[in-house]
Amino acid sequence: MEQQGRQGAKTYASDTVQAPPEIRDRLGMGDPDAHRHDVMRTFYEFSSGNGDDPWVLCTSWEPLRLTKGTVIASPEAGPYAGLGSPHRMAAVGVTVDTWHEDVWARPATSDEAKRLGIGAGSIVMMIARAYHTSEQVVEVADIIVAAESTKLACNGPVGDR
């Protein structure tokens, strides 16, 4: 966005829920306790900020066993708001040392198509991301972008910075 001289906008909403089975599996969580919320779920929409439809949808899940009662309990509130999982987790002594993303194409759901302003059944790219410590997964996210209008470029540092 910055290279194009545009300012991006982000909207979000967080709540605590009981993780669905697929998310429990991705986070390495055991069987759920009945009626117990165990993850912070945050829905994000990223747009150009000009009243345009969002171009990225993201749903993130973090285990409450790591964040509940800490200064990072809510991803978008407090002194570490918006810094991303690795930096926020570091604030409570949890070192994120790896990340992994699986990317594939699939048809958009009707809700995704409506929110992204694309035709029903249009192809989206699905990015399933996970941040890990040496012992556990600390956050998983599903990131969805319209394939017809988005180029994905992934990079990161090698070794110590």
pLDDT at 4: 60
User: Domain locations in the chain?
Assistant: 2-149
Average pLDDT over residues 14-31: 94
Burial class (CB in 10 A: 0-12, 13-18, 19+), 148: exposed
- 161 band by pLDDT with thresholds 50, 70 and 90: very low
- Dig out the tokens for 6 from the structure: 């545009």
pLDDT at 69: 95
Average pLDDT over residues 132-141: 95
Q: Which CATH class is domain 2-149?
A: alpha beta
pTM of the predicted structure, to 2 decimals: 0.88
Which stretches within 91-136 are classed as H helix?
110-116
Residue type, 133: T
What number of other Cβ atoms are within 10 A of residue 138's Cβ? Answer: 22
Residue keyed to tokens 């909207």: 11
Residue keyed to tokens 């000009």: 50
